[in-house]
Structure 1
Amino acid sequence: MRTPSEIAEITPKSAYQNRRQFMAAAAATAGVAAFAGERFLRPEQAVEAATKLTTAKSQLSLQGVEPTAYKDITSYNNFYEFGTAKSDPSENAQHFKTYPWNVKVSGLVKQPKTFSIDQLLKLRPQEERIYRFRCVEGWSMVVPWAGYSLSEFIKECDPLPSAKFVQFLTLNDPSQMPGMREANIGWPYSEGLRMDEAMHPLTLLTFGIYGETLPNQDGAPVRLIVPWKYGFKSAKSIAQVKFLDKMPHTTWNDLAANEYGFYSNVNPEVDHPRWSQKTERVIGAPIWKQRQPTLMFNGYADQVASLYKGMDLRKNY
């Protein structure tokens, strides 16, 4: 079975404008500026429509790097619900219905809640965050995401003090996600974070790339980005969020715990059982720049290393 994944050049708007089968849009709210004030488009209306997001620059963005070209970010994906080949998501997700969309919150909270995508989009102002993205398979990208810190959403969920972990579950709908009928990996897809990881300001609740709403194949309409961890930790198309007092079961850790640890922090000193993690292949880079050293915590060590003080990162990989 293949491993999970997710893929550095800001290209001019003209270089990526005539692409896309994204069928969704956003609300014309304080956090979102829609074309002509239009709301999310229904799937039957949206063919090549994308909605602009109003974003502010973030101090948490990488400086002096070029993001990966839009065409690479949207055509080189791992999203097993739509197939296991890298091109499958972009080919098979074009009719995925992302509106209406709700995210249900349950578990150790004051009371269960349900947030619509419209509510989530206007919950906080959107920021552009240019982050490194490193796949466990040994390739990387730099992506200009749009969203706000997950901690802002968690505050609205009112978790109880006993909540120590957060679990994220992807939509479970084989009728729309053909890959679910082909790969039996225990649906729905599940991922999780320790509460302090989830509350870290770098952890991003994500609604877009390149200043526009997420394409279906990249986890529309809402996904997670945890830039210091391998890509499979960043759950896509989130439909449920659960607050728990114990470490949740997660998809790849359940399938192969010796290969995909619960923490899965990017660490060049801890190899995958079947390949080295010391270097990575940069998607879209010129051939002479494609191979580069992997950075501890994907380059975010100064910000996040304190989260793991005293932990054996070879055991808690």
Structure 2
Amino acid sequence: MLIRTHQDGFIHPLSSEITSPEVYATRRQLLRQWTAGAAAAGLSVWAQREAFAQGGGVAAKLAALPATQSQIQGAMTVEKLTSQQDATTYNNFYEFGTDKSDPARKAHTLKTSPWSIEVEGLVKKPTRFNLEDIMKWGAMQERIYRMRCVEGWSMVIPWIGYSLSDLIRRVEPLPSAKYVEFITQADPQTMPGLRGGYLDWPYVEGLRMDEAMHPLTLLTFGMYGEVLPKQNGAPVRLVVPWKYGFKSGKSIVKIRFVEKQPLVSWEKAAPQEYGFYSNVNPKVDHPRWSQASERRIGEGGLLDKKRKTLMFNGYEAQVASLYAGMDLAKNF
């Protein structure tokens, strides 16, 4: 049974509103759908989205963003890259709608220039910084990261940016700062998804200070050798590769340093489904689907064999020490 969650006026969307059938349906469920005559409609929707990703949503080439290859341990997987086409047309960005094709179709309305980020809270140097200045604070690196969505799909993307720790050191956090909170753009004039009421906008995410300072945590300005497309979180976003994708906030406008753990958007909306840490852990299922396996976008169709989900999304050697002694089933 699917339970809809009501909290503070929030109605948790149905699985079909969040993701496509191939992600949340098991093969056995699909066979039952076929028997009942419902598979044709489900396959049609899936095919339409695949067609969009394979040709109907080609984005114009963006400005180049030069970068050197990262030398940080774990930053360069040798796995096959997801095609740029797939990575820029199959996205979660609820500010533009809940369908995977919505961001690529609708995000052209987002205004990314001028852009600034306000840094506030428990720091010695709180101020508002222009994007152009922030981009100069670290050496641009290309990093090839696995990205895992809580809904069961994954990609391998060459991101461009620098370690968030470079920015953090520059603003000099106070000893009392234990967490970093990220607030993203929420403009009803340019983001039609805000009218959907799925979340309490603006979108808020957060990391523990040691997670934010980890060298793999990337302040991101580009991908595939170009500046970020709007549908992927332009002009600046976070990428935390060992966590589920929703932890990597897009179109960031404010960074706040705080003492207490912030209440982040999905945890606030549905705490029984989304925890603060959201580390990729195949042993902890989402209440409505398994997290033990995943489908790599671009690796075949609806019934292709899935791959096994890796602990910490394959970054266990680099980040497991951050959670030593924690119960990762409770701190999910």
Q: What's the counterpart of residue 312 of structure 2?
A: 297
Residue 240 of structure 2 is aligned to residue 220 of structure 1: no
Give yes or no for the alignment of 1:101 onto 2:115: yes
Number of aligned residue pairs = 281
Cα displacement (A) at 1:62: 2.9
**Shift of residue 2 of structure 1?**
5.2
Q: Which residue of 1 aligns with 2:323?
A: 308
Structure 1 runs, 4 residues or longer, greater than 6 Å off:
none
What is the Cα-based RMSD across aligned positions, in Å?
A: 1.9
The residue that corresponds to 1:112 in the other structure is 126
Instruction: Note if contact 1:127-1:146 (Cα within 8 Å) is conserved in structure 2.
Output: yes
Using the alignment, how far apart are the partners of 2:91 and 2:141 within structure 1? 23
What CA distance in whole angstroms lies between the structure 1 residues aligned with 2:243 and 2:78? 21
- How many Å separate the matches in 2 of 1:231 and 1:64? 20
SS in 2 for 1:252: helix
Larger radius of gyration: 2
Paired residues for 1:108-257 under 5 Å: 108-257=122-271
Residue 62 of structure 2 is matched in structure 1 by 50
| Identity between Structure 1 and Structure 2 (%) | 57
Unaligned runs of 5+ in 1: 8-14, 21-47
Instruction: Give the whole-Å Cα distance in 2 for the aligned partners of 1:64 and 1:124.
Output: 24
Distance in 2 (CA, whole Å) between partners of 1:76 and 1:96 is 18
Change (3 A) 1:163 1:303: same
- Structure 2 residue runs without a partner (length 5+): 1-12, 24-53
Separation in 1, partners of 2:14, 2:157: 23
How far residue 64 of structure 1 moved from its aligned partner, in angstroms, is 2.3
Residue from 79, 86, 94 that aligns with 1:65? 79
Structure 1 contact 103–114 (Cα < 8 Å) conserved: yes
Partner of 2:51: none
> Structure 1 residues 99, 282: closer, same or farther in 2, change over 3 A?
same
Partner of 2:274: 260
- Structure 2 distance, partners of 1:135, 1:109, is 32
Larger displacement relative to structure 2 (51-60 or 167-176): 51-60
Q: What's 1:81 paired with?
A: 95
- Residue 53 of structure 1 deviates from its aligned partner by 0.9
Query: Which letter does structure 1 place at the counterpart of 2:311?
Result: M
For residues 206 and 288 of structure 2, the distance between their equivalents in structure 1, rounded to whole angstroms, comes to: 24
Q: Secondary structure at the match of 1:243?
A: strand
Structure 1 residue aligned with 2:283: 269
Q: Secondary structure at the match of 1:188?
A: coil
The answer on whether the counterparts of 1:283 and 1:290 sit within 8 Å (CA) in structure 2 is no
Deviations along 1:160-197, one digit per CA (max 9) or x if unpaired, are 11000000011121111000012341000000000000
* SS class of match (1:201): coil
Q: What TM-score does the superposition give when structure 2 sets the normalisation length?
A: 0.81
In proportion to residue count, which structure has more helix? 2
Farther off after superposition, 116-125 or 71-80: 116-125
Alpha-carbon distance in 1 for matches of 2:78, 2:264: 35
Taking the aligned partners of 1:229 and 1:61, their CA distance within structure 2 comes to 14
Larger displacement relative to structure 2 (283-292 or 65-74): 283-292
How far apart, CA to CA, are the structure 2 residues paired with 1:252 and 1:206? 22
- Which stretch of the first structure deviates more once superposed, 180-189 or 197-206? 180-189
CA contact (8 A) 1:80 1:183 kept: no
**1:3-14 correspondence runs (5 A):** none
